[in-house]
Structures are given as structure tokens and as C-alpha cells.
Amino acid sequence: MSGHVHKDYTGAKFGMWLFLFTEVLLFGGLFILYSVYLARYPKEFITAGKELNVWFGGGNTLVLLTSSLFVAVSITALRRGAKKLCLGLLGGTIACAAIFMINKYFEWSAKIHHGIYPGSAHLKELQPGEMVFFNIYYLTTGLHGIHVVIGGLVLAWAMLLIKSDRINADDWVILENAGLYWHLVDLIWIFIFPLYYLILH
């Protein structure tokens, strides 16, 4: 019986790593696109980059790093039988996801209020390189935001399974896979933050 469980565990892990690889390819393509246009419009990218708020980006980086720590510790807690602690840590992770999205909402709202959004009349008046910067910025951070929401929902689903003991100290592969997905979301932001908020300042 234990051998059968181990086989399922390995298959689930392998499937998850394949899925994560496709996600890396997706965002990797966006980062390559960014690099190509940065080389083409270096001055315009620097000018546009200065419009972004480093404090929003830095705050969200701290929030996601904290959330990743919570997820990692929650898996350890579950494996040691500390179910309540595990649920509390996952709740903390979801709260971090909500804080991240609220910060992103305020950041985007400020930009949109100033007429900086894809297809806006103001954006069309800017230099071509600045327009490209903001289009890639919205595409990349928007896609990442969707992943944050999905990650939060997956962790909430994992919490329900833990409460019903379908995920437990003996069978925790679903939680670990959910954690891997969340770590990827965090890792992608670790690339986004310096590319958009730091390098160009």
C-alpha cells in the first residue's frame, strides 16, 4: 500500500513540475520581450520606469516573501501533525495575497487616473519606447496578478481539504504542490520587481 501511495506522490510531483515549467516559459518569454525593447529604447524605458512607485513594488516584494515563508512553514507544521498552525499559516498566506492585490489596485488606479494605461490617449502621446514599456508592464503585472489570485484560491481549497482531513500528515502532496505554485508566483515577482522598479531608477 505504501508503495502505491509513493507512486502517486511521484507522479503528482512530476506533473506539477511540468506545469511550472510551462509557466516559466510564459513569463520567460515576457522577460525576453522586455530585454529586446529595453535594448532598443533604453532612454525611454528609464523615463517610463521613473513613473513607477518603488515603495509599492518594494512593499509587495516583502509581502510575497513573507507569504512564501508562511507556506513553507505550513507544510512542515502539517507533517508534524500541527493542523491548527498549518491552517493559520495558510490563512496568513491568503491574507498576504489579498494585501498584494490591494496594493496593486491602488498602484494601477494611480496610473489609470493619470491616463497611463493601454490604449489611452495620453499613452499614445508618449514616445514609442515609453508606450511599449507600459504595455509590457501592464501585461506582465496583470498576468502575475491573475496568478496571485489563482494561487490564493488554490491555497484556500487546500485549507478546506486539510479541515476535512483529506490532506493530512500522511498525505500532503496536494499542499506541497500548491506551495510550489505559490513559490513560483513569488519567484516571478522577484524578477519583475528589479526589472521594472529598480533597474530603471
Residue 81 pLDDT more than 60? yes
**pLDDT at 200 (0 to 100):** 60
Q: Which domains does the chain have, with CATH numbers?
A: 2-198 (1.20.120.80)
**pLDDT at 11 (0 to 100):** 84
Partners of 22 in beta bridges: none
pLDDT in tens, 95-153: 999 999 999 999 999 999 999 999 999 999 999 999 999 999 999 999 999 999 999 99
Measured CA to CA, the distance from residue 182 to residue 92 in angstroms comes to 13
Taking the model in full, what pTM does it have?
0.92
Measured CA to CA, the distance from residue 98 to residue 17 in angstroms comes to 26
115: left (phi over 0), alpha (psi -120 to 50) or beta: left
Single-letter residue type at 181: Y
Residue 16 pLDDT more than 80? yes
Task: Quickly tell me which residue has 508592464 as its cell.
Answer: 137
pLDDT in tens, 85-94: 999 999 999 9
| CA distance to 44, 84, 115, 157, 181, per residue, from 15 (Å) | 41, 29, 43, 19, 12
**pLDDT at 12 (0 to 100):** 84
**pLDDT at 199 (0 to 100):** 74
Cα 24 → chain centroid: 12
Residue 5 pLDDT more than 60? no
Closest listed residue to residue 201, CA positions, set 2, 72, 47, 79: 47
